[in-house]
Structure 1
Amino acid sequence: MKLDQARILLTGASGGIGQALARHLAAQGARLLLQGRNTEQLTQLAASLPHPEQHQIIAADLCDPAGRNTLLTQIADLSPLNVVINNAGTNQFAWLEQQSEAQIHQQIQLNLEVPILLSRAVLPYLAPQGVIMNIGSSLGSIGYPGYSVYCASKFALRGFSEALNRELQGSGRQVLYFAPRATKTSLNSATVNAMNEALGTQSDSADVVALQAVDALSRNQLRRWVGWPEKLFVRLNALFPHLVDKAIAKQLPIIHRFAHASQKGD
């Protein structure tokens, strides 16, 4: 896909990966509609990008039907869209019994329900060769202790992406699924960062993830997982899940320790 002058809707633009995506897409000449909940952060981001006059912002809560309607009203004035990137998301590191009903609902709603509803709503405004890119996770293919609800949402997002892409076959439109591994952003608590260090888990910067995502988008790559050995574990988990069971079982004492610390608060 040619990104120069492409009209792109980017959700979650004020977050770590979102900001990095905005910078790299703008550097390619894309015209961005940047969604987030904080007007000040979005304004500062748009002003920092190349050709700020080409970009627009919209402060809206996508978990609120009124917020989605506000976004769609602005999209209607800017259509057709060439790309929609469903990037907004959240996570909660804790054992399931430690998570409140509100925390569970928030993860399912923002990580899964919002991309589904937004994808449905934007289809009439998507260009004939348009693309929807859903930002998933390596934990959308590997169930991991402490992230049961997050994994559930990302597993489902991966299935949704695959199914919708098959629905759209022959239309010229595509749905891409992009899955980074652990990423250094403000979504991670100090406890999670310490656990990743103790486990030797490799983490990428938001900038590295954004570069990979833009490359996958420019190539119209239907599926991309980022990082090694995460790519290997994704394949092993699909074919020989008992091997991954054993590998993660060895990590459980460390995960338990940090999950307990997370329950007490950072």
Structure 2
Amino acid sequence: MTTLTIVLTGACGGIGRALAIAFASAGHKLVLVGRNAEALAALRDGLERPRSHRYLVADLSSAASIIELCTDIADGSAVDVLVNNAGTSSFGLFTETDDAVIEQMLQLNVLAPMRLCKGLMPLMRKSQHAMVINIGSGFGSIGFAGFTAYCASKFGLRGFTEALQREFANENMAIHYLAPRAVNTAMNSANIVAMNAELGNKADEPELVARAALELLRCKKSSNRYLGWPERFFVSLNALFPSVVSAALKKQLAIILRYARN
């Protein structure tokens, strides 16, 4: 496999760390992006060939910080791949969700990937292996009670990815949307874990997402990939027959609302 230079956001999170380890182990060079310099340095130093990688600290909720980040990336190296992994989530009743939490979610989950794509496109267009991987969610295709704002942000990311795929259809650039189901990371509160257990919802390990991302690096054509069964079936079902999915989720609503109120 060709050695690629990959910009990875949210590098120190559960999925981000698994992605960094998988990419580095496959021989790629990384630009690790996150908010904590100490954690980024520790992650880099623990990767294979640590001197091949660098890290940059940035607040992706700030447009000015993203502009500065893109400038720093351009000063340091060429870029082949951008992996938009950074994000945040919130579980609870929509009417009780603080406006600041909603705004932060939209900034990180939607606006940051858009701004990074726009800022790094001039660099990536110079690459023969140009690629964007947007880490989405099954909740970017299925609205789920208790995750209203999060769903809105991931629906937005999916729509952005789809439009970008079509806008770049004649260019040498693959645009991928990778949508995991629930993943075992620190982002999940105890309430979410307990609710998923009661509902029988399965969760994957971050390494599964990382393996899927590695496979996408070999895919030269834009694609959408959904992880987990039966979740990916319900994504298709919801697109064709949303009322069927609504009826099924309504049967679970009392359980969901009980945890969301807590």
Question: Following TM superposition, by how much is the alpha carbon of 1:209 offset from its aligned partner in structure 2, in angstroms?
Answer: 1.5
Question: Corresponding residue for 1:169?
Answer: 169
Question: Following TM superposition, by how much is the alpha carbon of 1:71 offset from its aligned partner in structure 2, in angstroms?
Answer: 1.3
Question: Following TM superposition, by how much is the alpha carbon of 1:128 offset from its aligned partner in structure 2, in angstroms?
Answer: 4.2
Letter in 2 for 1:233: F
CA displacement, residues 51-82 of structure 1 (integer Å, 9 cap, x when unaligned)? 00000001111112332133112211234211
- Between 1:65-74 and 1:231-240, the stretch displaced more is 65-74
CA displacement, residues 229-249 of structure 1 (integer Å, 9 cap, x when unaligned)? 001100100001111011101
The 8 Å contact of residues 128 and 171 in structure 1, kept in 2 or not, is answered as: no
Question: Corresponding residue for 2:195?
Answer: 195
The 8 Å contact of residues 79 and 125 in structure 1, kept in 2 or not, is answered as: no
The 8 Å contact of residues 130 and 174 in structure 1, kept in 2 or not, is answered as: yes
Contiguous gaps of at least 5 residues in structure 1:
262-266
Instruction: Give the secondary-structure state (helix, strand or coil) at the position aligned to 1:218.
Output: coil
Question: Corresponding residue for 2:62?
Answer: 64
Percent of residue pairs identical: 45
Question: Corresponding residue for 2:240?
Answer: 239
Give, in whole Å, the separation in 2 of the partners of 1:179 and 1:115: 15
Give, in whole Å, the separation in 2 of the partners of 1:66 and 1:152: 24
Question: Corresponding residue for 2:134?
Answer: 134
Give, in whole Å, the separation in 2 of the partners of 1:61 and 1:10: 14
Question: Pairwise mapping of residues 80-119 of structure 1 onto structure 2 (< 5 A)?
Answer: 80-119=78-117
Instruction: Give the secondary-structure state (helix, strand or coil) at the position aligned to 2:59.
Output: coil
The 8 Å contact of residues 75 and 125 in structure 1, kept in 2 or not, is answered as: no
Question: Following TM superposition, by how much is the alpha carbon of 1:217 offset from its aligned partner in structure 2, in angstroms?
Answer: 2.7
CA displacement, residues 138-173 of structure 1 (integer Å, 9 cap, x when unaligned)? 000000001111111111111110111111122111
Question: Corresponding residue for 1:264?
Answer: none
Instruction: Give the secondary-structure state (helix, strand or coil) at the position aligned to 2:217.
Output: helix
Question: Corresponding residue for 1:45?
Answer: 43
Give, in whole Å, the separation in 2 of the partners of 1:242 and 1:216: 32
Question: Following TM superposition, by how much is the alpha carbon of 1:110 offset from its aligned partner in structure 2, in angstroms?
Answer: 0.5
Letter in 1 for 2:32: L
The 8 Å contact of residues 181 and 226 in structure 1, kept in 2 or not, is answered as: yes
Question: Corresponding residue for 2:182?
Answer: 182
Instruction: Give the secondary-structure state (helix, strand or coil) at the position aligned to 2:251.
Output: helix
Q: How many residues align?
A: 259
Instruction: Give the secondary-structure state (helix, strand or coil) at the position aligned to 1:204.
Output: coil
Give, in whole Å, the separation in 1 of the partners of 2:209 and 2:241: 27
Instruction: Give the secondary-structure state (helix, strand or coil) at the position aligned to 2:175.
Output: strand
Instruction: Give the secondary-structure state (helix, strand or coil) at the position aligned to 1:63.
Output: coil
Q: Say whether residues 1:78 and 2:79 are aligned partners.
A: no
Question: Following TM superposition, by how much is the alpha carbon of 1:219 offset from its aligned partner in structure 2, in angstroms?
Answer: 2.5
Q: Say whether residues 1:212 and 2:209 are aligned partners.
A: no
Instruction: Give the secondary-structure state (helix, strand or coil) at the position aligned to 1:57.
Output: strand
Letter in 1 for 2:123: Y
Give, in whole Å, the separation in 2 of the partners of 1:65 and 1:236: 37
Letter in 2 for 1:242: S
The 8 Å contact of residues 81 and 129 in structure 2, kept in 1 or not, is answered as: no
Give, in whole Å, the separation in 2 of the partners of 1:141 and 1:182: 14
Give, in whole Å, the separation in 2 of the partners of 1:257 and 1:58: 41
Contiguous gaps of at least 5 residues in structure 2:
none
The 8 Å contact of residues 90 and 187 in structure 1, kept in 2 or not, is answered as: yes
Instruction: Give the secondary-structure state (helix, strand or coil) at the position aligned to 2:129.
Output: strand
Give, in whole Å, the separation in 2 of the partners of 1:203 and 1:218: 26
Question: Following TM superposition, by how much is the alpha carbon of 1:174 offset from its aligned partner in structure 2, in angstroms?
Answer: 1.9
Give, in whole Å, the separation in 2 of the partners of 1:155 and 1:108: 11
Letter in 2 for 1:87: N
TM-score, normalization: structure 1?
0.95
